[in-house]
Amino acid sequence: MIKKAVIPAAGLGTRFLPVTKAQPKEMLPIIDTPVIQYVVQECVDSGIEDILIISGKGKRSIEDHFDKNFELESRLQEKEDEVLYTQLRHIESMANIHFIRQKELNGLGDAIYHARFHCGHEPFAVLLGDTIIDSVIPVTQQLIDAYEQYSQTVIAVETVPPENVSRYGIVGGDKLSDRVIRLNQLIEKPGRKQAPSNMAIAGRYVLTPAIFRALEKTPRGKGNEIQLTDALQILLKEEGIIASLIEGKRYDIGNKMDFLKTTVEFALKRKEFAEGFGEFLRETVDNLYNQKG
């Protein structure tokens, strides 16, 4: 059983400047909930309550978000605002969350290597801190189920348009079932002609502890950083790796356009906003068409 999860959240978030100059991109809100809270909730919904967040300089607000705020809770109690009070109590108690800093930004692989003492000799889940996946069964739970069946490292993948393969780590291999592939290739951001498929790594993993030995052997790759995909290539020579096609929709909050789209979609899913916000969108679209006409 997978008992631990690692959430890398040390990146600078340069694509969201200037707002990320003093605020982590993982704390950007989708309406009223920070992105990273959705990620932590996915861990909890998958039965994992021991979570290590890899943070960095300027990320203190992530720690504060999951910490207790006595003054704010006291004020809410005075106002008898039970709804908000309950929400805050849930955030601070939802999981056992630990923090460690990646002092130099040397890539995702290096961030994962910082978890070696916390995870020890156990397999563990990895969830990227700027990616939300909306699904009926949490994607991390889907990967745990695959791990329990195959006892191998599991990588979440999704299909992407062939013209977009250069944005992602891409996998290739042989189908074991409709949703499971036994891998024989992993390539970080290949050109369209070099890509073995259009199956892209989707920001969720279940890794065996052998990944730490592979990371020790991994040279710096693209961006002069230690890439997790490169370490997985090394691991692939030592033990099997499978990919699991996710059942759900992935929201990459790493760029402004996807952030805007995610906010709109999540607002329409919320009962208190769906009707009024939906009407606003219809009026806005009608006005745009009228202006063009």
Average pLDDT over residues 237-261: 91
The answer, yes or no, to whether residue 221 has pLDDT greater than 80, is no
Burial of 134 (0-12, 13-18, 19+ CB in 10 A): middle
pLDDT of 167 higher than 80: yes
Whether 203 shows a pLDDT value over 80: the answer reads yes
Q: Tell me what pLDDT residue 30 has.
A: 95
Q: Are 208 and 239 in contact (CB under 8 A)?
A: yes
Q: Are 227 and 115 in contact (CB under 8 A)?
A: no
Q: What is the mean pLDDT of residues 51-72?
A: 91
Which pLDDT score is estimated for 217?
94
The CA-based dihedral angle spanning residues 105, 224, 143, 209, taken in that order and rounded to the nearest 10 degrees:
-80
Q: Distance between CA atoms of 65 and 238, rounded to whole angstroms?
A: 40
> In angstroms, what is the C-alpha Rg of the chain?
20
Q: What DSSP designation does 247 have?
A: S
CB proximity list for 98: less than 8 A, separation 6 or greater: 50, 51, 52, 53, 118
84 and 76 in contact (C-beta within 8 Å)?
Answer: yes
Reading the block at residue 216, the tokens are 């020790």
Domain boundaries, the chain: 4-254, 255-293
**CATH class of the region 4-254:** alpha beta
What average pLDDT does this structure show over 268-293?
Answer: 89
Lowest mean pLDDT among 102-106, 167-171, 213-217, 289-293: 289-293
pLDDT for the residue numbered 7? 97
pLDDT confidence bin for 253, thresholds 50/70/90: confident
| Distance in angstroms (rounded) separating the CA atoms of residues 239 and 115 | 21
Band of residue 236 on the pLDDT scale cut at 50, 70, 90? very high
Whether 228 contacts 112, CB under 8 Å: yes
| CA dist 97 → 40, 153, 222 (Å) | 9, 23, 31
Pick from 125, 159, 117: nearest CA to 246:
159
* pLDDT recorded at residue 245: 95
Longest alpha-carbon distance in the chain? 64
For residues 257-278, average pLDDT: 94
Interval 195-210 mean pLDDT: 93
Rounded to an integer, what distance in angstroms lies between the CA atom of residue 72 and that of residue 82?
Answer: 13
For residues 167 and 261, what is the distance between their CA atoms, to the nearest angstrom?
Answer: 19
**What pTM, to 2 d.p., does this model score?**
0.93
What confidence tens digit (pLDDT) does each residue in 2-31 have? 999 999 998 888 888 898 888 899 999 999
pLDDT of the residue at 293: 61
